[in-house]
Chains A and B, each alone.
Chain A
Amino acid sequence: MGQKRLMKGNEALAEAAIRAGVQGFFGYPITPQSELLEYMSKELPDRGGTFVQAESEIASINMVYGAAGAGARVMTSTSSPGFSLMQEGISYLACTEIPCVIVNVMRGGPGLGTIQPSQGDYFQAVKGGGHGDYQLIVLAPNSVQEMANFAFLGFDLADTYRVPVLILADGALGQMMESIEFPDYVVKEHLTDKSEWATTGRINGREQHILTSLHLQPEEMEMTNKILQRKYREIEAKEVRYETLFTDDADLLIVAYGLSSRVSHKALELARKEGLKVGLLRPQTLYPFPSTVLNNLAEKVKKILVVEMSAGQMVEDVQLAVEGKIPVEFYGRMGGMIPQPDDILDKLRKMNESTLNV
């Protein structure tokens, strides 16, 4: 571990990506992610990588497709409206099994929305987003430290499974400053042998490498899908990441990710001071989702409160996971508004009262 530094989330992620050996960064300015792009433009060319400011997010994601397809470790970053523009390219990346890292520093929507933080892109991030059946591994940091950590993890997971990995942050995590330490990191060459598929030129007359998502015969296209689905089942079995707090004796369980989990943590502390037995489950991977953990917790706790900066998106996955065993309630703010600990506390109090009345 190195020395502690005070950094913005966007910059910490960029620095971590450079330390992870990123060879190319392709991006387009959009608030609240632009510091990531700016940091890359300043640092990456001097540290052995390539920086290109593209003409659009559409171009950015397709530059990623090209360079990653040729075997390079590359990434792009954007915020919500730009993430919408990237969906076509992401679908191609998923189908051709090209590893890369994509960052979405979410802002409020729909439409042009606001530049304030939001979690309104959960569906788009976790349920595919583009056309066809595919998944991204979705990492949800909740601190500047995790913004950095997940950059390293993201590249490793992308290479291990040959999938695009999405780091789903929000405007607050991107903009806020916290002290962080960068872990020692060595690029793990053994994760994947890119020479088996990357378009690097037909050296020594080897077989042609083709990266395509076009399979006109339905039997072939179904087989491509089956290969992807098999991979997703493996990811679901091996890569679920989450954090739990005070779940051992909890009656009420908050489920929240990213910035919402930070606010929920504060609400939990306030609630505990009042004697409310509140616990917290924080998914660090939104896909794969910690469904089994939640299902098991549903045997122990009495009620679940899902807190999101959206109209209620992850709450659907929580409901699916608990299979109706216990009530699942929701508290959310939208459009760039951040939930306040007191408001969550009020909600917890009411849930606790009605639990006692049962």
Chain B
Amino acid sequence: MAHWRDTMEQLVRDRERALLSYAYLVCGDAVQAQDLVQDALVRTFSRERKGLTAAKAEGYVRRAITSAFVDGYRRRQRWQRVQHLFTPADVAPDRFGQVEAGSDIHEALATLPPRPRACVVLRYFDDLTIGQIARHLGIAEGTVKRYVSDGLDQLQLALGPLDDADAAAATADHADVTERKLS
């Protein structure tokens, strides 16, 4: 068996649920999550990457999931299409400022626009720094900060106060600065 395929199948065998769960967190739809994971696998393994193990590949695939999600959003030419694809119909009526406190995290995430949502997931699920998110999504760090900040505010409307929100939003910058200083 070709090495890449062996690696891919091992990854899917061992981490299928984790990847699908992650993709679901990113997009909020099981069917789309499935497509995102498959697209991400295609993106990851379409390039020759020597020495790629299943463990390393998982990192690539996770990044590709968010890339695919945001890219898909970017490339739609009509917002209605974007709305249909990225905001499940049953949660589409939710609006900023209109989610009731105590909502499920999935519902709260569903109220976020795609790019802020991707930024929040990358920041708080993947523990990426602002700079890493900016480089990954190809947007300015300031934009990422804004998305994260707005996303957190919106999530707090739905979920109530978040212990890590204030500090993390602020220290995101600290972390970046620290990262740069250390490097």
The answer to whether A and B assemble together is no
* B residues lining the A interface (CB < 8 Å): none
* A residues lining the B interface (CB < 8 Å): none
